[in-house]
Amino acid sequence: MKALAFGAPLAVIAVLVSALSGCSAAAPTNDDRVHVVASTNVYGDIAGMIGGDLVDVTSIISNPAQDPHSYQGSARTQLALSKADIVIENGGGYDDWVYSLLAGIGGDKVLINATALSGYPRATHFNEHLWYDFPTMRAVADRVALRLSEANPAGKTTFHANAHRFDRALRALENREHALAAANRGRGAAITESVPNYVLEACGLTIVTPPEFSQAIEEGTDVPPLALQHTLDLFAAGTADVLVYNAQTSGPQTLAVIRAAKKAHVPVIAVTETLPAGRDYLEWMDATLSGLERALT
């Protein structure tokens, strides 16, 4: 299978996605499937790509209106976790409710933690939005394949073949990041939150928003007036070549920044924390890179 070229259309990504889903073995009975519970549909989708018909996946958070940071869980969530063979979480403070609910269940669960697999040190302001970091998602997929193989040895060939195809699709996306970095290194990117920072930095862009602004937005606190003014000034001054904002949160400061960017004719790109309806993980990341390609060229 050929790797995707720079600027590859969504249809080509779809071919890879089809290959991922099509190489699974025939569907067994429900009782034979490995039960996977993921904190969000991002990790649930990746688990489904690796496991195919040999897994049963439950994603706790799939509604964009739900905030994984503040989600508390419910008896229904705890019941789903109690039945899981494998649990996948983001970690890094993003979905700590997983630990709280598992503590109330008792017993050992196979837990896959994306933060632990990322290799990034837990700094004071650790960026937990790891699904925009392709090396980490590769590590997650590989770990999923390993744990599924342990739970269902008969499916080992299927799991690792699917992980290999997923890896090839990620490498195609990384090639596009490298091409963007070669053409745009050092250009400025404004953000409302740190959600897209991994992919922006991989594309060679420099985050120019004052940290005080994005941290306040993420924490739901008032933005310091000086930080807000500095952020608004980025666009008129030509410091920011693109604005990337989290579409799942909103407020007067975020709207003011979007208006300032549009007034200065700076391209505006929306990103999200959970999968958009009708797209899988690879299609979602393809669309994100396509938006950056259009904005920067």
Q: Containing domain of residue 155, as a range?
A: 10-175
Report the distance separating Cα 88 and Cα 108, nearest Å: 14
Residue 180 host element (H or E): helix 156-184
Report the distance separating Cα 281 and Cα 240, nearest Å: 28
Pair (59, 161) in one structural domain: yes
Number of domains in the chain: 2
* Contact between 132 and 140 (Cβ < 8 Å): no
Exposure class string for 40-65: b at 16+ Cβ within 10 A, else e: bbbbbbbbbbbbbebbbbbbbbbeee
Cα 205 to the center of its chain, rounded Å? 18
Pair (227, 166) in one structural domain: no
110: CB partners within 8 A, 6+ apart: 85, 86, 87, 147, 150, 151
Pair (166, 50) in one structural domain: yes
Residue pLDDT tens, the chain, 297 long: 333 333 444 444 444 444 454 443 334 445 689 999 999 999 999 999 999 999 999 999 988 767 777 787 788 899 999 999 999 999 999 999 998 899 888 778 899 999 999 999 887 789 999 999 999 999 999 999 999 999 999 999 999 999 999 999 999 999 999 999 999 999 999 999 999 999 999 999 999 999 999 999 998 899 999 999 999 999 999 999 999 999 988 899 999 999 999 999 999 999 999 999 899 999 999 999 999 999 998
Burial grade of 76 (CB within 10 A; 0-12, 13-18, 19 or more): exposed
**Stated pTM of the model:** 0.87
* Contact between 176 and 293 (Cβ < 8 Å): yes
CATH code for the domain in which residue 21 is found: 3.40.50.1980
